[in-house]
Structure 1
Amino acid sequence: MDELTKQWKGLSLSQREGPKFRMRPDLATTEYIITAKFLTKRALNMDAIAATFQPFKADVDNILANEPWSYDKNLMVLQQYEAGSEVEDLTFNLTHFWVQVHGIPVRFMNKRVAEGLCETVGQVCHLQNAPTVDGGSFMRVRVLVDISQPLCRGRVIAFDDDMEQWVSFKYE
């Protein structure tokens, strides 16, 4: 690597390659760009994808707030592209999921307990107006999940009388 660095320093630009081209803010596009990684081994029709996804600013916020998304029945991991960053530097290992927590005893079925149980799944998103109870049999929690790791299947809960019980997680 040091040899390559020495060779690189020895190179110079020709007259045609210089001077520097200044990237002024007024030259940038006003598009709002979302980058996506499709978790599939199948070939994708990039023209169809490009035609489907051309968001405006309001759409970008809405799209990112309503993760996860799928395309052709495969998970799509999204990131908002920030001006000046390199696409190659983006990581696509985090996405939001609604996690259903099943098996919580009725007297403990509340937001604080459900969020506490989901802390092992990932970063819990504390949403103000989001309903956490669905149908009375489970709780839902919004969690930012690292999908490069295996999904957490559930947790053991313990009571003061040393009884234990399993609660399971299902991912939406």
Structure 2
Amino acid sequence: MAKRGELPNESGMDNLFALWESFSLTEFEGNKYQVDDGGLVGKFLLAAWFFTCKALNMEAIARTFKLLWHAKKGFEVRDMGNHRVLFLFSEESDVDKVVASELWSFDKYLVTLKRIRRQAEMKGLEFDSAHFWIQVCDLPGV
């Protein structure tokens, strides 16, 4: 076996390859995952998907939306991976106000929002639409 800081010798690599070849996940192992909704009692959840390839900075997201949303009792931010974020509010009226605005962006990228009841709903949540306001000027014949 190789010591710390050294590369394994050729036979050690062969052993690793052999172990990797026999590695597999069973159906049972795949279904063991459970999402913990602990601590969410009395919270109102808003799921967000950030349309960007950049890494998300949760602190920057929290600071930015805190200034924009002016939530009565504030909110928590949780990184759910894959550019998805969970916002936890204590007041339903704060969620109503945020969702009513319909269109949000962060760092010049679109952010879509959806209400959810439980954190477990994030797994299969589809962000498949966004509402836009457009203004059309100087149409002929109008």
Structure with a larger share of its residues in strand: 1
Structure with a larger share of its residues in helix: 2
